Structure 1
Amino acid sequence: MNLRTNIKEAQGLGSAKDGVSHWWLQRLTAVALVPLMLWLAFGLARHGGAGYEATVAWVANPMTTVLWVLSLAALFWHIKLGLQVVIEDYVHDERAKFASLIAMKFITVLLAAIAILAVLRVALGS
């Protein structure tokens, strides 16, 4: 009884050496998002009734701007990692999987860029 598989059967089915780093990045972004989202929630709640000028002044504070950008970058990176796992696990047609992964990556980068640009425009006063 031979417990080893033939190379022809196993070819292309081995590890891509990417799963562990993907898993760690997803956990790392999740851990980073906890304090960032708490800060964002409390900051937005604190400035919820404030006027436009007060809110713009808060966003224009350099520390606030940096935390906003970090929050958005970590959020969209985490979204990208999570959607990638969902697509890889549940889309079985290889062409549809490839197209979905490419579209998802473009869309998440585009949305992240739009969100970060919006924060920077408010912070820089343009």
Structure 2
Amino acid sequence: MAHGIIGDNVPVRGTTRRVRYLGAAKSGTRDVWLMRLTSVALLLLAIAFIWIVLTLIGKDLAGVRAVFSHPPVAILMLLFILASIVHMKLGMQAIIDDYVHSMHLKEWALIANIFFCIGTGVAAVFAVLKLGGL
């Protein structure tokens, strides 16, 4: 008789006790889909980003401001920043969840990840808006 198959007289309580409170956080599917969505968005937005950067070669500050003052350019740059920050946050969160084993260190690393992403995103958005003259 095999042990561990449901229906056998194997005590389930012992194994349940070990995994209590470690079950699904119910956010994994959302994170996976959001990671894939930002990946596809970044593929498309990277083309626009590279094109914008190539048009800036050789321009002075006034020329850069003239390019960023066009709403489509500013919108594409802001979308690129948003997708990059969300993708970076999710990627680092997955790495921290998988490879940091100390719960105390994991909590602090996740908090630091959130604040770093927010700070980086705010600084990048501010830079684009400032260059665009807003």
Fold conserved (TM > 0.5)? yes
Q: How does 1:70-89 map to 2 (within 5 A)?
A: 70-89=79-98
* Structure possessing the higher relative contact order (Cα contacts under 8 Å, 6 or more residues apart): 1
User: Structure 2: how far apart are the matches of 1:20 and 1:81?
Assistant: 12
Matched, 1:12 2:14: no
Gaps of 5+ in 2: 7-11
- The one-letter code of the counterpart of 2:100 is V
Gaps of 5+ in 1: none
Alignment RMSD: 1.4
Matched, 1:31 2:40: yes
User: Structure 1: how far apart are the matches of 2:56 and 2:115?
Assistant: 33
Given that residues 65 and 133 in structure 2 are in contact (C-alpha distance below 8 angstroms), is that contact kept between their aligned partners in structure 1? Answer: no
Between structures 1 and 2, the one with greater helix share: 1
Partner of 1:46: 55
- The one-letter code of the counterpart of 2:5 is L
Report sequence identity in percent: 31
User: Structure 2: how far apart are the matches of 1:88 and 1:46?
Assistant: 40
Task: Tell me which structure has the larger Cα radius of gyration.
Answer: 2
User: Structure 2: how far apart are the matches of 1:87 and 1:14?
Assistant: 18
What SS class does the counterpart of residue 106 from structure 1 fall into? helix
Number of residues of Structure 1 aligned to a counterpart in Structure 2 = 125
User: Structure 1: how far apart are the matches of 2:53 and 2:20?
Assistant: 53
User: Structure 1: how far apart are the matches of 2:81 and 2:52?
Assistant: 15
